[in-house]
Amino acid sequence: MMWLCVLLLFLSISSSLLPFCASQGIIAPGKYISANQPIISASGTFALGFFSMRNSTPRYYLGIWYNKIQKKTIVWVANRESPTDSLGTFALGVDGNLVVLDATKKTVWSSNVKVADSAINNTTGMLMDNGNLVLRSDEAVLWQSFDHPSDTFLPGMKLGYNRKTNQRRQLTSWTDAEDPQPGMFSFGIGTTGGPQFLIWKDNDPYSRSDVYSNSVSFAKLSKMRPFAYYLTLNLKGDDIYVTYSASENSAILRVTLVPEGRIELFLWQEINNDWISIWQWPSTYCEFYAQCSPFSSCDPKGSQDRCKCLPGFQPKVQQEWDMRNWTGGTCVRQKALRCDKDDGFLKLVNMKLPDHSYILGNMSTNDCESRCLRNCSCTAYAYLNASDGTSGKCLNWYGDLMDLAQDFVGSDLYIRLHDRDQVGNVKSSVKFTRKNKRSIIIAVAAVSIGLLCVLSGYFIWRKSIGKQERLEETCTGMNTSIELGKSETELNIFSFNQIVAVTNDFCEENKLGEGGFGPVYKGNLMNQEVAIKRLSKKSEQGIEEFMNELKLIAKLQHTNLVRLLGCCVEGEEKMLEPGQVFV
Query: What are the residue boundaries of the structural domains of the chain, listed by start?
Result: 17-148, 149-283, 287-432, 482-578
* pLDDT for the residue numbered 47: 96
CB 561 within 8 A of CB 528: no
| Domain 17-148 and domain 149-283 have a common topology | yes
DSSP summary character for residue 288: B
* pLDDT for the residue numbered 420: 59
Tell me how far apart the alpha carbons of residues 91 and 100 are, in angstroms, rounded to a whole number.
7
Number of H helices, E strands in the chain: 7, 43
H-helix or E-strand spanning residue 512: strand 511-514
Which tens digit of pLDDT belongs to each residue from 232-288? 898 888 889 999 888 777 889 999 999 999 999 999 998 889 999 989 999 998 999
DSSP summary character for residue 387: T
* pLDDT for the residue numbered 473: 42
Segment-wise mean pLDDT, segments of 10 residues, the chain, 583 residues: 36 39 70 85 94 79 94 96 88 94 93 90 93 92 96 95 91 95 96 88 94 77 67 87 85 95 93 91 92 90 82 88 78 88 90 93 90 94 76 89 86 87 44 41 55 59 50 38 38 73 77 72 75 67 59 52 65 55 29
Q: Which CATH architecture describes the domain 17-148?
A: Orthogonal Prism (2.90)
Q: How many CB atoms lie within 10 A of CB 3?
A: 7
CB 159 within 8 A of CB 232: no
Which tens digit of pLDDT belongs to each residue from 207-229? 999 988 777 776 666 666 566 77
* pLDDT for the residue numbered 377: 94
* pLDDT for the residue numbered 361: 83
- CATH number for the segment(s) 149-283: 2.90.10.10
What CATH class has 482-578? alpha beta
Closest CA to 93 of 146, 25, 31: 31
Are β-strands 564-570 and 492-493 bridged in parallel, bridged antiparallel, or unpaired? parallel
Task: Return the ∠ at Cα 212 (arms to 208 and 215), rounded to 5°.
Answer: 130
Tell me how far apart the alpha carbons of residues 268 and 253 are, in angstroms, rounded to a whole number.
7
The size of the chain, in residues, is 583
Does this model's pTM top 0.75?
Answer: no
